[in-house]
Amino acid sequence: MRRVVITGMGPVSPIGVGNEAFHKAQLEGKSGVRRITRFDPSKLRCQIAGEVDINPEEYIDKRELRRLDRFVQLALIAGELALKDAGLDLEKEDKTRIGTLVGSGIGGMETWELQSRIFLERGPDRLSPFFIPMIIANMASGQLAMRYGFMGPSSTSVTACTTGADAIGNAFRIVQLGEAEVMVAGGSEAVVTAMAMGGFDVMRALSTRNDEPEKASRPFSASRDGFVLSEGAAIVVLEEYEHAKARGARIYAELVGFGRSADAYHVTEPHPEGLGASLAMRAAIRDAGIRPEQVGHINAHATSTPVGDKAEVKAIKQLFGDHAYRIPITATKSMTGHLLGAAGAIEAIASIQALYHGVLPPTINLTDPDPELDLDFIPNTPREQKVDYVLSNSFAFGGMNASLLFKRV
């Protein structure tokens, strides 16, 4: 198997766009959760979300924007940032050896809602001819490939909240096996819409802390009452190690392990003992060929739901034993909210940045720790600490689990 390294990153998140802004916001413990502005949320129980403050026209031609759903727009912006960060000279690269693998948990929800209204109010003849191409989940990956002329493997992952991690993990395998030299991979989601919010709202899955939105996402807290829905995208450039070395690329980290599993338990709830989550983490560690006690930091899935956080902590204790109490754990969603299909990718970037800079970001809003959840969650303040391995967890509706293991280079 060939070695695979990360040479470029493009975060587009509610707390910052681009590497520097995203990293700085984490260390400041910034929350990106606010009252919703993309539509009137007054009829909903939950009226808050994490929105990305960005003008797509600064990155994409205005005429092209009309043919792209917001999830594709955010993916293209994240891809541009990642490729610039990687410093690839695309005039010299063999584009048949560069591929794309960008996933989305839901796809073009905003376009679907708009076109549904047009269909019902004005009839089928008034639908946009771009309706179907705008909503299908593989279009972020396809548009990214078309924009840069990448003719290597192009695919997508759709595994709900594990999508971003799965996309990066699947791209990792493609480079490992020699099908491509470079893969541009990650996730994108843009479902801060009336229907999506209403759907999650009626499930009672969302926090209703509308009067204090910045404090609503509070993983591992006794007062956690649900997750906060967010939008965003995150793309990384994965590159075969010798290829990166030959061009003098800056290497942020090496991806050394990828593990997956299924809870086979419930459509929305995790296994209460965290069995599937533990299997995914164990598989990633085994894939890397290291011992569990070598893991120095975990970026937890930690959505801020009562059952989810509890199950993940049980999974960590089950796998790591006494070492679980010595592993600093970050919940990025305390700051960003839950980016669904982009969550695993944005948290992979947070994990890589922690390795590269030697600073572990905090879990904010942890002012009333749940006494049942007694691990080291780096409460409220970042911690300077160099570690050699970081594990990034992603779990999803349908019982899907994925873990990525990164190594400091």
Active site residues: 161
For residues 208 and 210, give the distance between their C-alpha atoms in angstroms, rounded to a whole number.
5
DSSP 8-state assignment for residue 18:
S
Q: Give me the phi and psi of 235, to 5 degrees please.
A: -125, 140
For residues 8 and 244, give the distance between their C-alpha atoms in angstroms, rounded to a whole number.
11
Token reading at 44 = 């909903």
Return the exposure string of 59-85: e unless at least 16 CB atoms fall within 10 Å of the residue's CB, then b.
Answer: bbeeeeeeebbbbbbbbbbbbbbbbeb
94 CB contacts (<8 Å, ≥6 apart)? Answer: 181
Token reading at 224 = 């956690």
Question: Which segments of 266-357 are extended strands (E)?
Answer: 297-299, 329-330
402: three-class secondary structure by DSSP: strand
Whether the Cβ atoms of residue 234 and residue 164 lie closer than 8 Å to each other: yes
For residues 156 and 108, give the distance between their C-alpha atoms in angstroms, rounded to a whole number.
14
For residues 213 and 227, give the distance between their C-alpha atoms in angstroms, rounded to a whole number.
11
**Helix (H) and strand (E) counts for the chain?**
13, 15
Phi-psi region of 180 (alpha: psi -120 to 50; beta: other; left: phi over 0): beta
Whether the Cβ atoms of residue 60 and residue 73 lie closer than 8 Å to each other: yes
DSSP 8-state assignment for residue 324:
G
Whether the Cβ atoms of residue 297 and residue 353 lie closer than 8 Å to each other: no
Q: Which of 198, 231, 6 is nearest to 106 (CA)?
A: 231
